[in-house]
């Protein structure tokens, strides 16, 4: 079953180039692959979890070059047989019957798919396969020969992490330290600075929910942080201030989703955020009937990068100059302290940002990744918040602004379809007006259609 | 995406033949299919579990002809596009690159695969998909156009019911009535005649274990019943007698697996029995270090059917006559009460049965399905038990005999490989001797090789 | 600490009377008592659960006469020291200070109280102490020397089974068989005839709740059975018919408490029924906001016994004769089948029963034990139901009638106080009218006050 | 039931003394007491948990003077009736029958006992009653009139917190943050300095166990910290160093109990430490069969206080001078850095400390509180460790030394009895020798008996 030609080539390459793959790396990878072959064989069928454990352990011991060799071998020796695929594809072409389809489906399935299924029997197997995909993805651009591995893992994990198998769990101070420290570690939007910071985020007027997979009980797949507030929050710093007073959640009329974090890079593309927000909104609505508004408080991560290129988008030189001056001013460290400067910049920036959110596109989709996500979920762009996030990060990417996306459960499907079919961005009047008043939209354009940008 | 031509043909066929598919059935099936299309669409992406619930409910309301129409539509409208498959198969043939492989893999995947994934979001979805496969399998021989549905479900369920996701649970009197009544309902080997009968099977000197899937917490996937005994049991009736005295399990030196039942017909071919026996043997060995023997007490379900045809397998007329007389005697209702008869028949039957177990084959595998299972797991044929099962069922299929297969954990892999590669049946000396003395092996054969039988 | 004089007397009595306590019984009891002394000693303090286990096991092995001797010794050797009690009582009499009170409280506490506390460390200790009280109570009338044991256990168990430590659990088909079979065994009001019968009582339109103690997780302390119905049930047979159709509980407007059972005789006098009914009514009201009426469907267990004596309560000979005829007719096995007879008896019996429920007293409390319980809880007598329970039991004690007591949460306290302070029976107009029309109330009585009966 | 005379006196006292109890405090206390009376009344019987909740809330709102008034009223109005106690005490004196005993027992029981039982029905009731005892204990020396309250609570809590009702739970990183932060807060022996510190104490080679009461699931009653080590630890700093490497617990041969903390001051005198150590030792012994030694690493908290008075215990002036010099040296901040000084002091201090542990007594018990506890449990004094605890605290109380007490399960009972009956301190040869060589034991003593010290 092993293909000596490949190994031969490998060894030749070792001897050929100085600085090639060290023999020890090849030996370790080879050993792991042998165990994988055994696991796929007759013996694997009867040995159960023991062999799976050994194979997984051998794989886990790999790193750097030995890991690369392992993936190379996984691509070489556990791919479908091209002959067989060719033959059955031809058969299907001649007669596209169900039987021929089933045959072809089997032929294109890589043996490594079955290998992954068997590795999953080992304790910790599921987590290791998620991690394996992360490793492959990280380098697949440079190693196109690994694309098949990535695709097989992606398909398998999408199937296993089906929403139907995930459970929604509330996370609070009753949760284990094991899970809580993962939140501290994973939080991607507004850094959690330790246990006291975390504690405030789990107090009575906050909520945190996560999806868990039954096989990974201590590993959140994705989590969301919510503040229960009076009025729609415009500023994030008060929400995450560890010393802010705790309010009675029964008084709240808004649920503000201020952070959502995908924890597992190895599950990229297997999307849950959409479902998580909706289920949390439904659950909170039942628990607190006085909640009227469900909205995010979100960054606008692509705004400043786009703004830097905006001068090129206008034709009028005056406008160009004005935009360039704005970009320059934004780079000054203390513009926020300078009252005159701040007051001059505020209306300009708000309008430009509104324009960016409504009209800056990549192909037909919003250029801003966060906008793309929430609008794709059927939310509406509601309000821009000046100095909503004054952290270093917030200033650097979003020029300190934040935006609220509102989730109205009854209009999500309609908004989503308008967005998906007609690429329409659903936004409040206020935001549409702001965008219309921006430097980019205003004077010149005889052409009505907004510009498209890469 | 809908193919009016199919519906047209359907309606035509209705009008053509009297007694065709009633319009109501078509309408109901069509409604369910429309919801399935919606669930697969953009709208389905954002609607989450609600639409999945509606689609599942519409499907669950189908039966008889409407269900048939639904499956027909599922085959027609949710299969891969043959054009696309053909194109990508050709591309792969020309250049078998990873990229082309990934493309072809995607092309052959039926849209109904994604549909099933989304249906799984609805409460009860997983169970309904298992049930769907059961329904399709039941009729797929008559409806070859459903083969693709069956294959898609089989692949999906094999992935979801991976051993790594199943949990082993002990079942005893602390278990919920909901699960316990399923045991009564499902037990396939030795019928459980009610709660008192069940109670005895869960007493201190008995063990029952099942695999459960996290999404089906009240539905055992497979379960096994074990008796902890002194000495290897030869007779099943004492084991299942509700009034038998309960012994101290700490005194036992044998664990007798006397019943193993696959509960979900819709998971046929997704095999767990092998792993269940082994894990239970390991767990019991740890709990009761004095256990020395792990063995089954199993029926020989194919013996009498084979015996009826055995006369044709011998050439000597004397032997033929003797065999025919034996078959005739076995049909007499009271041979067990007739001492002379019983004593005459016992040695003949034991030897013939040993021969049957060791040498009767279908292709290269044992003809007896139970032997095939346990030998395939690496167990060894240990002992034949005269009048081991005197129930009506036991007399009818196994001529009242039972057999012990012994599981020695340290030799399972070796036995399995000998069986899988060389088709060798691992048996005790005693059984080999018995088989050698049987009417069929003994006198004539100058040819050493045992006969093969269909 | 041991009092040889007592043993001496014991042995003397053995030698004196033939047929006295056998030596083996004395020896076994003595052995258990020795272990109890050890458990109370210094050694017991440090030995922890081991000694408690041994002592409990030695006690559990006792029965019949050895048990009697054990209790005698428990009374003799583990009672407070009368000298000390006398001395501290006198001190308190002279100076009723807090310090003297505390001293006296300690002096009157029997050493066996501490013994019971230590026995509780053994596995199963709590259950055994409940059982111990049951055994003592059964014979305490004949053995007044055991009264102290009974009182000590009663006080201890009342403290341990404080409502604050009990948890309310719903019992349904998800409950373990271990608990469910206890319901079958304990149900005291309307016998459960097996698992199918039980299953109906746990279906969607029924509810069953029990209080559990954390130390006795498989032993309900008390349980209640509820039917969710449309309209207030008048007849119990349809409620407990295993083949009755299951209704949608969301349609119900009444919760009928048709059975409440105290499971532990050893907890007699430690009352929970009152709290159980109220908590269940509150919980159901939250779960099903459409429920308007919470009522029992109860037997009238003392009616026929009272009726048999009723002739003596009237002075008019006509009435006396009429009552005697009625009692005689009720004894006829087939009066229910005789239309004329039944129609004649119905109004008479309903009125007499109303009179019984409203006016028959023992001291100042209702004579009927069930009425006493529900009226004491603050419920009101609402409606009498002709042929509400036609079981043998129902006919024998309640002449086939049943009564509804209605629980209106908002009037329970008021009713209870009227009942507790003024002995007023709160009843519906209808029942008051019926009672006023009864043979016993009607014609003669110049004296308004209803008769009192023992 | 209320005693206006008391209130009258109270109000009088208010008017009499300037600076008396403010009226608001009296009013609040009075309100809480009224609710307590209601809870004890007929109404309380039927109102269930609602009234209990109100009464508890009213009590919880009290503080400072209003709380004091509340306890005064609790002593005044909820104590037994002295008349009745006197009468029944006399009856018992005349005839010490079981019936009279039971009567007297009931008479001496304070109504507040029943009040506490009813308060326990309120959510959080158990915790509040533990807290109530803490508050009463804190001041009972100054308020002797509260002694009865304290005694009633002590008796009740001892009954409720019976070992049989507590569960032993392992505490590790899977435990909720809610419980973990209590450890940080409560740890009394070696302060936990935050989450990282705590994490190290819960790593693979550490164990932490606590007793929990079912009604206080988030409140440890007592907890113990254990290190699994090779060899008996002599120094505590390495054990609690957050950066120390984690070892494989399977290699350990010693379990070192290095900290044990009673968490609930309100449960003082209800002792669990003894049982906790033993159960943990048994459980660890089963989990790790290679563990041979179970020992503490304990402070000697009374050593330096005793040493300061030691000069007065000797008669020889030389010795007196030597001891005084030693005490003076110990107060020098840097003696540990001075090699000569340290080497001179070490043998002196070790011997004196051995003498202290073996011979310094209060009455007949060891003067050192930690020694008293472990010797009372049946442990033996094994080894003195020079500079075992160099923390500020360790230097200040124990002169930097620590001691190992060894728990040998098989000799605990014997040691305990020798200790309890004959006041014998069980110690190793080495320690006995050291003690014999100490300044205090050595030369002069013509009197053999060791000196006793207060």
- Judged on CB neighbours under 10 Å (0-12, 13-18, 19+), A303 is buried
Q: What's the distance, CA B165 to chain centroid?
A: 20
For the cut 70, the answer to whether the pLDDT of residue D229 exceeds it is yes
Question: CA of A377: which chain B residue's CA is closest?
Answer: B46
SS (H, E, C) B246-278: CCCHHHCCEEEEEEEEECCHHHCCCCCHHHHHH
Interface of C with D in 204-243 (CB under 8 A): 214-215
**Does this chain's domain C164-296 share its CATH topology with C303-436?**
yes
- Judged on CB neighbours under 10 Å (0-12, 13-18, 19+), D4 is exposed
Handedness of CA A364, A369, A373, A375 (dihedral sign): negative
pLDDT along chain B (454 residues), means of 10: 52 50 92 94 77 96 95 94 87 85 92 95 96 96 94 96 95 98 93 94 97 96 97 96 94 96 92 88 94 97 94 86 91 87 92 95 92 93 96 93 95 89 93 90 49 40
The closest CB to that of B416, out of A42, A158, A378, belongs to A42
Which residues touch B36 (CB under 8 Å, ≥6 apart)? B55, B59, B74, B78, B115, B119
CATH number for the segment(s) A164-296: 3.40.630.180
Please write the tens of the pLDDT for every residue from D15-42. Answer: 444 457 889 999 999 999 999 999 998 7
The pLDDT of residue A237 is 95
- Set of chain C residues whose Cβ sits within 8 Å of the Cβ of B195: 177, 194-195
For the cut 80, the answer to whether the pLDDT of residue A195 exceeds it is yes
Q: What is the DSSP letter of B424?
A: P
Classify domain C4-160 at the CATH superfamily level. Malonyl-CoA decarboxylase, oligemerization domain (1.20.140.90)
The helix/strand/coil state of D27 is helix
What is the distance between the alpha carbons of residues C204 and C201, in angstroms, rounded to a whole number? Answer: 9
The pLDDT of residue A2 is 43
Interface of B with C in 153-192 (CB under 8 A): 173-178, 180
* Contact indicator for D257, D296 with CB cutoff of 8 Å: yes
Distances (CA, A) of B356 to B306, C163, D244: 8, 68, 67
The pLDDT of residue D8 is 57
What is the distance between the alpha carbons of residues B57 and B32, in angstroms, rounded to a whole number? Answer: 8
Which residues touch C159 (CB under 8 Å, ≥6 apart)? D117, D156, D159, D160
D199 touches chain A (CB under 8 A): yes
Shortest distance between the Cα of C225 and any Cα of chain B, in A, equals 18
- Judged on CB neighbours under 10 Å (0-12, 13-18, 19+), D421 is exposed
The pLDDT of residue A334 is 84
Interface of A with B in 49-88 (CB under 8 A): 49, 75, 79-80, 82, 85-86
The pLDDT of residue B336 is 86
Q: Which of B447, B428, B294 is CA-nearest to residue B358?
A: B428
Interface of D with C in 255-294 (CB under 8 A): 274-275, 278-279
Strands (E), B263-399: 293-296, 361-362, 365-366, 380-385
Q: What's the distance, CA C48 to chain centroid?
A: 35
Please write the tens of the pLDDT for every residue from D397-438. Answer: 999 999 999 999 889 988 998 998 889 999 999 999 999 998
What is the distance between the alpha carbons of residues C54 and A294, in angstroms, rounded to a whole number? Answer: 63
Buried-exposed string D80-119: b where 16+ CB fall within 10 A, e elsewhere: bebeebbebbebbbeebbbebbbbbbebbbbbbbebbbbb
**Catalytic annotation, pick one of D68, D233, D259, D298:** D298
Please write the tens of the pLDDT for every residue from B310-359. Answer: 888 888 888 899 899 999 999 888 888 888 888 999 999 999 999 999 99
The pLDDT of residue C47 is 75
Distances (CA, A) of C145 to C13, C76, D98, D103, D348: 18, 9, 6, 14, 64
Question: CA of D198: which chain A residue's CA is closest?
Answer: A177
Cβ distance of C177 and B177 shorter than 8 Å: yes
Please write the tens of the pLDDT for every residue from B52-104. Answer: 999 999 999 999 999 999 999 999 999 998 888 888 888 888 888 888 989 99
The pLDDT of residue A184 is 96
Adjacent-strand bridge partners of B385 = B402
The closest CB to that of B175, out of C177, C199, C218, belongs to C177
The pLDDT of residue A161 is 96
Please write the tens of the pLDDT for every residue from C110-131. Answer: 999 999 999 999 999 999 999 9
**Catalytic annotation, pick one of D359, D374, D438, D441:** D374
The pLDDT of residue C189 is 86
Cβ distance of A178 and D178 shorter than 8 Å: no
Residue bearing tokens 């605890």: D389
Question: CA of D273: which chain C residue's CA is closest?
Answer: C46
Question: Which candidate in C38, C39, C44, C45 is best for mutational testing of the D interface (most D CBs within 10 A)?
Answer: C45
Residue-level length of chain C: 454
Mean pLDDT score across all residues of chain D: 90
Alpha carbon dihedral B301, B307, B308, B312, in 10-degree steps, equals 140
Mean pLDDT score across all residues of chain A: 90
Place D446 in a pLDDT band, splitting at 50, 70 and 90.
Answer: very low
The closest CB to that of B275, out of A48, A108, A148, belongs to A48
What is the distance between the alpha carbons of residues B20 and A453, in angstroms, rounded to a whole number? Answer: 59
Cβ distance of B160 and A156 shorter than 8 Å: no
The pLDDT of residue C163 is 92
Shortest distance between the Cα of C158 and any Cα of chain D, in A, equals 9
**Which residues of C have a catalytic role annotated?**
298, 374
Cβ distance of B147 and A274 shorter than 8 Å: no
For the cut 90, the answer to whether the pLDDT of residue A337 exceeds it is no
The pLDDT of residue D14 is 47
Do chains C and B meet with 3 or more Cβ pairs nearer than 8 Å? yes
What is the distance between the alpha carbons of residues B416 and B426, in angstroms, rounded to a whole number? Answer: 9
Q: Summarize the confidence of residues C86-104 as an average pLDDT.
A: 87
Cβ distance of B146 and A278 shorter than 8 Å: no
Cβ distance of C85 and D104 shorter than 8 Å: yes
Cβ distance of C96 and D85 shorter than 8 Å: yes
Q: Summarize the confidence of residues C407-423 as an average pLDDT.
A: 90
Q: Which of A311, A314, A303 is CA-nearest to residue A398?
A: A303
**CATH architecture assigned to B303-436:** 3-Layer(aba) Sandwich (3.40)
This model of the complex carries an ipTM of 0.88
Q: What's the distance, CA D415 to chain centroid?
A: 22
**How many other C-beta atoms are found inside a 10 Å radius of the C-beta of residue D164?**
20
Place C394 in a pLDDT band, splitting at 50, 70 and 90.
Answer: very high
C318 touches chain B (CB under 8 A): no
Distances (CA, A) of D449 to A350, D361, D441: 92, 12, 10
Count H helices, E strands: chain C? 21, 9
% of chain C with per-residue pLDDT over 90: 73
Residue ranges of domains in chain D: 4-160, 164-296, 303-436
Question: CA of B198: which chain C residue's CA is closest?
Answer: C177
Place C333 in a pLDDT band, splitting at 50, 70 and 90.
Answer: confident
Question: CA of C165: which chain D residue's CA is closest?
Answer: D215
Q: Which of D150, D148, D149, D153 is CA-nearest to residue C100?
A: D148
Alpha helices of A17-64 — where are they, by DSSP H?
23-40, 42-47, 49-60
The pLDDT of residue A443 is 52
Backbone angles phi, psi at B33, to 5 degrees: -65, -40
* Contact indicator for B211, B167 with CB cutoff of 8 Å: yes
Alpha-carbon radius of gyration of chain C: 27
Cβ distance of A176 and D176 shorter than 8 Å: yes
The subunits that touch chain A, with at least 3 C-beta pairs less than 8 Å apart, are B, D
* Contact indicator for B385, B379 with CB cutoff of 8 Å: no
For the cut 90, the answer to whether the pLDDT of residue D171 exceeds it is yes
Q: Summarize the confidence of residues C192-202 as an average pLDDT.
A: 95
Do chains D and C meet with 3 or more Cβ pairs nearer than 8 Å? yes
Buried-exposed string D298-330: b where 16+ CB fall within 10 A, e elsewhere: bbbbbbbebbeebbebbeeeebbeebeebeebb
In this structure, what token pair is assigned to residue C446? 């110049």
What is the distance between the alpha carbons of residues C150 and D102, in angstroms, rounded to a whole number? Answer: 10
Question: Is residue B34 flagged as an active site residue?
Answer: no
């Amino acid at each position: 079953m092993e293909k000596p030609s490949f190994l031969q080539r490998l060894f030749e390459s070792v001897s050929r180039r100085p600085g090639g793959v060290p023999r020890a790396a090849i030996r370790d990878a080879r050993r792991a692959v042998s165990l994988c072959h055994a696991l796929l064989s007759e013996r694997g069928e009867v040995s159960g979890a023991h062999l799976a454990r050994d194979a997984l352990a051998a794989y886990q011991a790999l790193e750097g070059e030995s890991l690369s060799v392992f993936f190379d071998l996984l691509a070489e020796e556990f791919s479908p047989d091209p002959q067989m695929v060719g033959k059955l594809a031809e058969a299907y072409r001649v007669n596209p019957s169900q039987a021929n389809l089933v045959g072809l489906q089997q032929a294109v399935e890589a043996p490594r798919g079955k290998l992954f299924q068997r590795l999953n029997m080992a304790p910790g197997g599921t987590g290791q396969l998620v991690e394996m995909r992360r490793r492959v993805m990280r380098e697949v651009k440079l190693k196109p020969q690994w694309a098949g591995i990535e695709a097989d893992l992606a398909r398998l994990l999408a199937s296993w992490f089906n929403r139907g198998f995930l459970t929604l769990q509330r996370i609070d101070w009753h949760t284990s330290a094991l899970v809580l420290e993962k939140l501290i570690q994973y939080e991607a939007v507004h850094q959690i600075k330790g246990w006291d910071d975390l504690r405030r985020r789990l107090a009575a007027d906050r909520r945190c929910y996560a999806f868990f997979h039954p096989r990974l009980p201590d590993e959140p797949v994705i989590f969301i942080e919510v503040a229960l507030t009076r009025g729609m929050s415009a500023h994030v710093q008060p929400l995450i201030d560890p010393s802010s007073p705790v309010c009675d959640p029964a008084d709240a009329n808004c649920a503000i989703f201020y952070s959502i974090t995908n924890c597992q890079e190895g599950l990229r593309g297997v999307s849950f955020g959409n479902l998580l927000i909706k289920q949390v909104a439904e659950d909170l609505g039942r628990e607190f009937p006085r909640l009227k508004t469900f909205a995010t408080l979100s960054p606008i991560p692509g705004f400043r990068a786009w703004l830097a290129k905006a001068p090129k988008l206008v034709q009028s030189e005056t406008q160009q100059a004005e935009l360039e001056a704005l970009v320059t001013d934004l780079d000054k460290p203390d513009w926020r302290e300078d009252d005159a400067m701040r007051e001059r910049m505020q209306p300009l920036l708000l309008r430009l940002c509104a324009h960016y959110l409504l009209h800056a596109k990549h192909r037909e989709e919003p250029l801003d990744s966060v906008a793309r996500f929430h609008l794709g979920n059927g939310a509406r762009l509601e309000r821009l918040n000046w100095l909503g996030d004054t952290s270093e990060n917030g200033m650097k990417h979003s020029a300190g602004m934040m935006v609220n996306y509102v989730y109205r459960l009854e209009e999500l499907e309609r908004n989503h379809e308008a967005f998906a079919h007609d690429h329409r961005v659903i936004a409040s009047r206020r935001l549409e007006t702001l965008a219309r008043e921006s430097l980019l939209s205003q004077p010149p354009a005889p052409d009505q259609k907004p510009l498209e940008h890469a």
